[in-house]
Amino acid sequence: MLYDGSFAGFLTCVGESFRQKVYPFYFLSPGVEQISLYPILETPTDQALAKSVYRSLEETVSSTFRRLITYSFLTCLPQRERTMFDLIYLAFHQALPQDLTDDRVLLLTRAIQHLTHEAHQLKGFVRFADYGGVLVGQIAPKNRVLPLLRPHFCQRLPEEAFLLHDKTHREGLFYADRKWKIRPVDHLDLDRPDQAELQCQALWRRFYQTIAIPARHNPKCRMSHMPKRYWDNLPEMQPDPMSTPQ
């Protein structure tokens, strides 16, 4: 089934599959290529049908199951839609596996653990920079963590206007006037920060370097607590652009 890549689009696929009594072999979103001998059914998003299926996940099964499906969609699990559909089909037509070690349940549970762990790490690894009164931060997560990060940063920065850009999934969390939206952002072209922001970043790097204990320098330990894949978006891990080359 070909859909628009949104959660509502996936739920529409579930509803249409049940209506037409078909069992999809795989799900395709824009930009994903797949060679198949089976016909591809293009499924436009139906918001009303998606909401109906979303309600049914709780009414027919449980609120815990709806949370499992919702969070699973945010993970980077390969072919996650097929695994999710398999579990939804079982829950609606047979019975949801009660054994938590069932391969289908365990696969999604582990993927969600990876999602929530990454979101927890990013709460400490996000760095914002001031661009004309708007705070801008950039991340490159493996999972779609913006929905999980939204409550944290909206509560931490209630009076600010900010944008948190997910470079991996090309979407951004926009917040201003106590209102938020998550919208697609294909490319974010930022100007060079002004002098005040560069000085602030330089002070942060100096602080980071000052509190370090040279005798206890342990790169492997640091990478276990601060994975290297986050370093590109951490100013304290970048060379000081204001320093003069020797």
Query: How close are the terminal C-alpha atoms of the chain, in Å?
Result: 59
Digit-coded pLDDT (tens) for 200-245: 989 988 898 888 888 888 888 888 888 888 888 888 888 765 554 4
Residue type present at position 3: Y
Query: What is the structure's pLDDT at 25?
Result: 84
Query: What is the structure's pLDDT at 40?
Result: 79
Exposure of 60 in the CB half-sphere (CA atoms within 13 A): 15
Tell me the whole-structure pTM to 2 decimals. Answer: 0.86
Query: What is the structure's pLDDT at 133?
Result: 92
CA distance 14 to 214: 56
Query: What is the structure's pLDDT at 246?
Result: 42
Query: What is the structure's pLDDT at 164?
Result: 97
Query: What is the structure's pLDDT at 93?
Result: 84
Give all strands (DSSP E) within the chain, no chain letters. 128-131, 134-139, 162-166, 171-176, 179-184
Q: How confident is the chain (246 residues) per 10-residue block, as mean pLDDT?
A: 93 95 87 65 94 95 94 95 93 75 85 97 95 94 97 96 96 96 91 89 89 86 85 84 51
For the sheet with 171-176, list strands across it: 128-131, 134-139, 162-166, 171-176, 179-184
Query: What is the structure's pLDDT at 241?
Result: 59
